[in-house]
Chain A
C-alpha cells in the first residue's frame, strides 16, 4: 500500500465523480427551475450510452463525432420531453411530475430491455487500450477523455448560467418564480432550455462513460440512485453543491471500493444522504431551510 495506489484510486474516483456531476447537475438544474424531480433522468444517461454504442460499433463513427452527435440528440430529446410532457403540468403538480417521469422511465427502461436484452455490451475503440503513464499513475486514455469532457461541460454550464442573459433568466426563475414572471421572463422558454441542457448533460455523461464501462439498459437506474443522493447532499436545486458533492462522492467511493465490498459503498451513499438530512437538511451549501 503505497501513496501511488491511493493516488490511482483518487484519480479514478475523480473521473467517475465528474461524470456523476454531469448527471446530478442536470437533475439539480431541472429541479431548481421547474421544481420537478426528473425520475427518468438516468434513462437519458442510458440512452446516451446506448446511442454511443451503436454509433461507434455499428456506424463506425469516431469518438469525438459520437460524443457530439449524442449530446445534440439528447438536447433535442430534452426539448421534446419538455414540450410533449412536462409543459402540460404547469407547475403545482409535484406528485404528478414524479409519477409522470417515473412512468416515462419505466417505458424507456423496459422498452430498452425488450429491444436490446440486458446483455452488457462493451464499446471497443482503437484507443481503448491506450494508457497514459505519469510516474506511477496509469490511466486509460478513455478515462482522460471522460474527465476532459466533464470539465469542459462544467465550464460551458458555468458560462451559460453566469455570462449570458438566458442563464441569468434561468437563475432568476430558480430563485423566485413569481418575481421572475413579474419582470417579464418567459418561464416556458427558460424551463424548456433548462430541461434541454439537463438532458443534454445526461446524454453527454452516457457517451463519455460508454467506452469506460459496459453499456446495458439497466445502467441508468442504479446511476440515478446516486445522483439523487448527490443532489440531496449538495442541497436540492443547488448546482454547484451537486458538482462538489458528486466529485467528492466519486473519490470517496473509489477509495472505499478499493477495500470494501460494493454493497458497503452503496449503503454508505444512502447513509450519508440520511445523515445529511438529519444534520444539515439544506445540504452542504444550502443557505438555510426551515424544518
Chain B
C-alpha cells in the first residue's frame, strides 16, 4: 500500500498537471477534452455517490444537470444575475427537486425510485421542449453572453476556452474533494451500510431514508452547478441538455470499473471522456455500442472490471494448496 503522504503528493501533482495543461498547449481540442472530462467527472462522481455508495440506481442525474443549466441561463440572461449566483441557484433548485422526487418514491422502494427517476429525466426533456414561454422550446436559448466572474479584486471575463477549462476543472476538483471527504467519512460508511444491508443498518441506528436523501441532494447540487457552468461553455442551452446520451455515458463510467470505487470511477471518466472522440462513430451506432457494453457488463462483470479482478484474486488466494501431500 502506498503511504498516505505519498498518495497525497501524487494527487497534488496530478491536480497541478491538470492546471498546467492550458499553459503548455493552446490546442483547443485538448482543452475541449479537458472540459468534457471535468464535467463528466462531476456527473459520474455524483452518480457514484448515489448508486455506487448508497445503492440507488438513479437516472435523474441528467435532469439535475439540465435544470442547473436552464436555471443559470435564464437567471443570467433574463434576470441579469452574475454567473456565480445563477449556477448556485441552479444547483439548489436541482437539489430541491431531487429531494421531492426522492422523498416521494424512496418511501416505497428502490424499485419505485428507479422508475420515477427515469420518468423525471424524460419529463424534463418534454417540459424543456414544449413549455415554450419559459424555455423557448426546441430552439433553446442561444447566444449566452460571455460571463464575468467577480473574483475578489479583479473581474474575470471568461472569453477564451482556457478560461472555461480553468473554471470547470477547478469546480471538478472541489466537487471531487467534497465527494471524497463524504465517502471516507462517517457519512460515507453509513451510506455503504444502507447499501449493503438496510435492515441491519437500521438496527444500528442509521436512518436509511435520511442518508439516501442526503446522497441524492448532494449529487443533484453538484450536477446542477456544473450544468450551470457547462451551458455557458456551450453558449447555448436547449432540450438536448437532457439527452439520454449523458445518462448512458455516466452510467457506463460508474459501472465499468466498479460502482463504489472513487478512483475507479474517476479513471473511467477520464478514459470515456476522451473515447467518443477517438472512436468516431455516428451517434446512433455509439449508443448501440454503449448499450451492448451495458448488457455485457451486467452478464459478465456485474461488479465492474475492478470487482471481477478482486474476486479472481481472492479465489486464487483461497485455492487449496496443491503441494499438500
Given contacts A95-B57, A98-B57, A263-B131, contact A103 B111 (CB under 8 A): no
Cβ–Cβ contact A266 & B294, under 8 A: no
CB distance from B103 to the nearest CB of A (A): 8
Nearest opposing residue in chain A for B129, CB measure = A263
B294 to chain A: which residues have CB within 8 Å? Answer: 99-100, 102-103, 106
Nearest opposing residue in chain A for B251, CB measure = A99
- Interface range, A side: 35 or more
Q: Is A144 an interface residue (CB 8 A)?
A: no
Nearest opposing residue in chain A for B293, CB measure = A103
Q: Is A285 an interface residue (CB 8 A)?
A: no
B172 to chain A: which residues have CB within 8 Å? Answer: none
CB distance from B7 to the nearest CB of A (A): 31
Main secondary structure of the interface of A (DSSP, over half): helix
A94 to chain B: which residues have CB within 8 Å? Answer: 57, 110-111
Cβ–Cβ contact A107 & B116, under 8 A: no
Identify B107's interface contact among A106, A113, A277, CB under 8 A. Answer: A277
Q: What is the bound-complex CA distance between A35 and B118, given in angstroms? A: 18
Q: What is the bound-complex CA distance between A110 and B118, given in angstroms? A: 18
Nearest opposing residue in chain B for A274, CB measure = B104
Cβ–Cβ contact B299 & A106, under 8 A: no
Cβ–Cβ contact A225 & B119, under 8 A: yes
A98 to chain B: which residues have CB within 8 Å? Answer: 57, 114
CB within 8 Å of B: which of A64-121?
A: 85, 88, 93-96, 98-100, 102-107, 109-111, 113-114
Cβ–Cβ contact B116 & A85, under 8 A: no
Cβ–Cβ contact A267 & B127, under 8 A: yes
Q: Is B255 an interface residue (CB 8 A)?
A: yes
B119 to chain A: which residues have CB within 8 Å? Answer: 225, 228-229, 270, 273
Given contacts A98-B114, A99-B57, A281-B107, contact A266 B299 (CB under 8 A): no
Given contacts A106-B290, A232-B116, contact A100 B295 (CB under 8 A): yes
Q: Is B298 an interface residue (CB 8 A)?
A: yes
Given contacts A102-B294, A263-B130, A274-B104, contact A37 B111 (CB under 8 A): yes
Cβ–Cβ contact B118 & A228, under 8 A: yes
Cβ–Cβ contact A110 & B287, under 8 A: yes
Q: Is B164 an interface residue (CB 8 A)?
A: no
Q: What is the bound-complex CA distance between A99 and B292, given in angstroms? A: 11
Q: Is B277 an interface residue (CB 8 A)?
A: no
Q: Is A52 an interface residue (CB 8 A)?
A: no
Q: Is A126 an interface residue (CB 8 A)?
A: no
CB distance from A187 to the nearest CB of B (A): 19
Q: Is B9 an interface residue (CB 8 A)?
A: no
Cβ–Cβ contact B302 & A96, under 8 A: yes
Q: What is the bound-complex CA distance between A228 and B290, given in angstroms? A: 23
Q: Is B171 an interface residue (CB 8 A)?
A: no
A30 to chain B: which residues have CB within 8 Å? Answer: none
Q: Which of B114, B115, B122 has the most chain A CB atoms closer than 10 A to its own CB?
A: B115
CB distance from B27 to the nearest CB of A (A): 32
B111 to chain A: which residues have CB within 8 Å? Answer: 31, 35, 37, 94, 236
Cβ–Cβ contact B104 & A278, under 8 A: yes
Q: What is the bound-complex CA distance between A289 and B295, given in angstroms? A: 32
Nearest opposing residue in chain A for B282, CB measure = A114
Q: Mark B197-216, 1 if CB is under 8 A from A, else 0.
A: 00000000000000000000
A277 to chain B: which residues have CB within 8 Å? Answer: 104-105, 107-108, 112, 116
CB within 8 Å of A: which of B270-323?
A: 282, 284-285, 287-288, 290-295, 297-299, 302
A100 to chain B: which residues have CB within 8 Å? Answer: 294-295, 298-299
CB distance from B151 to the nearest CB of A (A): 40
Q: Is A135 an interface residue (CB 8 A)?
A: no
Identify B288's interface contact among A111, A236, A291, CB under 8 A. Answer: A111
Cβ–Cβ contact B126 & A263, under 8 A: yes
Q: Is B243 an interface residue (CB 8 A)?
A: no
Given contacts A37-B114, A113-B284, A273-B119, contact A85 B299 (CB under 8 A): yes
Cβ–Cβ contact A266 & B123, under 8 A: yes
Q: What is the bound-complex CA distance between A282 and B111, given in angstroms? A: 13
B116 to chain A: which residues have CB within 8 Å? Answer: 232, 273-274, 277
Q: Is B163 an interface residue (CB 8 A)?
A: no
Q: Which of A39, A93, A107 has the most chain B CB atoms closer than 10 A to its own CB?
A: A107
Given contacts A37-B111, A232-B112, A266-B123, contact A103 B118 (CB under 8 A): no
A225 to chain B: which residues have CB within 8 Å? Answer: 118-119, 122-123
Q: What is the bound-complex CA distance between A102 and B244, given in angstroms? A: 11
Q: Is B85 an interface residue (CB 8 A)?
A: no
CB distance from A232 to the nearest CB of B (A): 6
List residues of B whose CB falls within 8 A of some A CB. Answer: 51, 55, 57, 100-101, 104-105, 107-112, 114-116, 118-120, 122-123, 126-127, 129-131, 244, 248, 251, 255, 282, 284-285, 287-288, 290-295, 297-299, 302
Other A-B pairs, 8, CB within 8 Å; known A88-B299, A102-B291? A37-B111, A37-B114, A99-B294, A103-B295, A107-B288, A221-B122, A267-B126, A282-B108
